[in-house]
Structure 1
Amino acid sequence: MSVDLKKRFDRIVEILIQLQSKKVIKAQELADRFEVSLRTIYRDIKSLEQAGVPIIGEAGTGYSLIDGYRLPPVVFTKEEAMSFMGAEKLMEKFTDKKLMSDYKSAMYKIRSVLKHNERDSLSAIENHIIMGKSSYETFNQSVPHALQTVFESIAHKRQVALSYKGANDEHPDVRTIEPIGLFHENNFWYIGAYCLKRDDYRQFRADRIFTIEILSDTFTKKHITLAELLENRNSQIVATPVHIRVGLATAPHLDWQKKYFGFTHEKKTGEYVDLFFDLKSSLEYFARWFMMFADDATILEPPILQQMVETILNESITRFKNPIKAL
């Protein structure tokens, strides 16, 4: 079998698996997945139909398999089996307890259909992967089922009631929301949702949820997609250009944190490194971060940031010279 023929055969088999895994799949999605032209996908679909696979649909609307048609049990390659272990370890760190429990249950079923040598390979590497514990809580431990509740809400288009404590709130506030998606950003999970109380779209950080419950009420309207919500959010944020100069010895220590402030690029200038940012978060937040290494850094722009740091520094000096006596 020639290399090109084998590639086409493998792609057609993968297309068949994709058709079984989704209710409807568009040709463009398949073309993007396999990095081929739409014409190639149309030809592959035609080949499957000629082989007797009952495909319904057409170009432009999407394809699906007739209900009841199923492939024989799937056989995993060694590499695919290994990937499950990596995914399981990531799930331990990045999901809540309920979702992790469901995933482990699914993994037991997957292991049961693996070949003996594949199961042995998983067991051999299982204890050689450790995900370090985070220094912060990604979820409120009293709400171990937050993500699963949101998944169910989206699937059945049912409202969710939650008590939520924002960053500036003194007490949790009860909200009724219609979730449109979940996204992971800056080490936290967020729920993108339509908030009935605010009559607008909002995002809710998972670790700030105190209670969550799915309701019997269905969604009140058709919503925008999560991608549209994030695009709208980002388009409304005006970035502030920030330029600071940091000593060569200090600059490497900022590599991990600088990305959270809209870091764009850097330029070495003699004994210093110039760092450039398009800041979309609070200037005060940046100013307080800057204070951590201010003894070896200079703010070149904007002037308002210089003034802000000066104010914080003067207040700190005043407090240092006039300490509050312990009770």
Structure 2
Amino acid sequence: MNDHYLKKIDRVTAILTQLQSKPTVRAQDLAAKFDVSIRTIYRDVKTLENAGIPIIGEAGNGYSLMDGYKLPPIMFTKEEILSFITAEKLMQKFSHQSLGNHYQMAMEKVRSVLRHSDKNLILNIEKQIDVYNYYVQSDDSIKNVIPTILESIAEKTQLIIEYRTVDSRVTNRTIEAVGIFFEFNYWYIMAFCTMRKDFRQFRVDRILQIFKTQNHFSQEYGQINDYRKKTNENAIKVRLLVDKKIINHLTYSKKYYGLTEEVDKGDHVELTFETDCIDEGFPRWLITFADFAEVLEPEYLKTKLRDLVMTISKKME
């Protein structure tokens, strides 16, 4: 079976899903969705009719399924349906673009098997839910980059990536992906780098090219969080004494900067970190609440903080 017929089968199946998920579907909308001519859609609808699918309507007026025709139903509670709608809103704002289209297609399949009353529930409630994202989403030059990574993990095959580092150098790496994670508005790969002979994390939006090879690896890497911890083995220990008045404002950022322990000290909280960004990131973060904090260790951080404050003061003169 050649690619033409495989694509036709996929498209015809998707058209059936569209017919099941909406009251009426226009041929021009289907043509735009699947990037084919309207005449091709007419032929696809005829294929469904020849297969015994009871389609009502004519070219130019829109198509619908005969009332009562359903595939074997999947029953969801109203609470489950509302959770789907909420999850869909979250995916629209926070999912990686290479996953968004696949999720949308999956949701259309879910909608297609809902009862008529449940479809009305979605229509009535979906515009009453929104998610406000204050972060600029990153643009990736590669289509389906995360599905490619996930396929390599499932198949245990090496990836070759062209990667732009934080200082804008471009390097080629062969990696064995362990997993992916989302943190502070970016997607990352955790992987074993064959060049460094160690585990590294790579930000997905900095991948310029990615190729899935036929080279299999047999190493069992375990869970992704185990290797995220290993990347901090050479980190520097930092201890801060922070006023309780502002501790709630650091809920998420303190974890990002490597929080390992939090001890109540009356009016203050002692925070212990393991960080590998002691020269730049950590002192710049600390300066945002430095008037409510005391550096207990290391002395080096105090020096970096003083230098940063002096630099800022000179610019304000």
TM-score under structure 2 normalisation? Answer: 0.66
Structure 2 gaps, min length 5: 1-71
Q: 1:234 to 1:196 in 2, by over 3 A?
A: closer
Aligned length: 244
Q: 1:98 to 1:278 in 2, by over 3 A?
A: closer
The CA deviation string for residues 96-125 of structure 1, in whole angstroms up to 9 with x for no partner, is 223111111111111111111222222222
Task: Tell whether the 8 Å contact from 1:154 to 1:181 is kept in structure 2 after alignment.
Answer: yes
Aligned runs of 1:305-316 on 2, under 5 Å? 305-316=301-312
Structure 1 gaps, min length 5: 1-71, 322-327
Residue matched to 1:244: 241
Aligned runs of 1:18-97 on 2, under 5 Å? 74-97=74-97
TM-superposed CA distance for 1:170, in Å, is 2.6
For residues 155 and 232 of structure 2, the distance between their equivalents in structure 1, rounded to whole angstroms, comes to 30
Residue matched to 1:218: 215
Give the counterpart of 2:275 among 273, 280, 284. Answer: 280
Q: 1:90 to 1:237 in 2, by over 3 A?
A: farther
Residue matched to 1:174: 172
1:177 is paired with a residue whose SS is strand
1:283 is paired with a residue whose SS is coil
Residue matched to 1:299: 295
Residue matched to 1:233: 230
Paired letter, 1:213: F
For residues 277 and 76 of structure 1, the distance between their equivalents in structure 2, rounded to whole angstroms, comes to 46
1:202 is paired with a residue whose SS is strand
Paired letter, 2:188: Y
Q: 1:200 to 1:303 in 2, by over 3 A?
A: closer
Aligned runs of 1:193-208 on 2, under 5 Å? 193-208=191-206
For residues 115 and 129 of structure 1, the distance between their equivalents in structure 2, rounded to whole angstroms, comes to 21
Task: Tell whether the 8 Å contact from 2:74 to 2:114 is kept in structure 1 after alignment.
Answer: no
Q: 1:317 to 1:150 in 2, by over 3 A?
A: same
For residues 124 and 254 of structure 1, the distance between their equivalents in structure 2, rounded to whole angstroms, comes to 38
Two-structure CA RMSD over aligned residues (Å): 2.9
Residue matched to 2:6: none
Residue matched to 2:188: 190
For residues 164 and 78 of structure 1, the distance between their equivalents in structure 2, rounded to whole angstroms, comes to 45
For residues 117 and 251 of structure 1, the distance between their equivalents in structure 2, rounded to whole angstroms, comes to 47
1:123 aligns with 2:136: no
Q: 1:274 to 1:231 in 2, by over 3 A?
A: closer
TM-superposed CA distance for 1:303, in Å, is 2.6
Q: 1:245 to 1:74 in 2, by over 3 A?
A: closer
Residue matched to 2:46: none
The CA deviation string for residues 147-176 of structure 1, in whole angstroms up to 9 with x for no partner, is 111122223333322221122x33221222
State the identity %: 33
After TM superposition, the runs of 4+ consecutive aligned structure 1 residues lying more than 4 A away are 250-253, 266-270, 318-321
Q: 1:253 to 1:148 in 2, by over 3 A?
A: same
For residues 164 and 303 of structure 1, the distance between their equivalents in structure 2, rounded to whole angstroms, comes to 36
For residues 107 and 126 of structure 2, the distance between their equivalents in structure 1, rounded to whole angstroms, comes to 13
Task: Tell whether the 8 Å contact from 1:140 to 1:208 is kept in structure 2 after alignment.
Answer: no
TM-superposed CA distance for 1:276, in Å, is 1.7
TM-score under structure 1 normalisation? Answer: 0.64
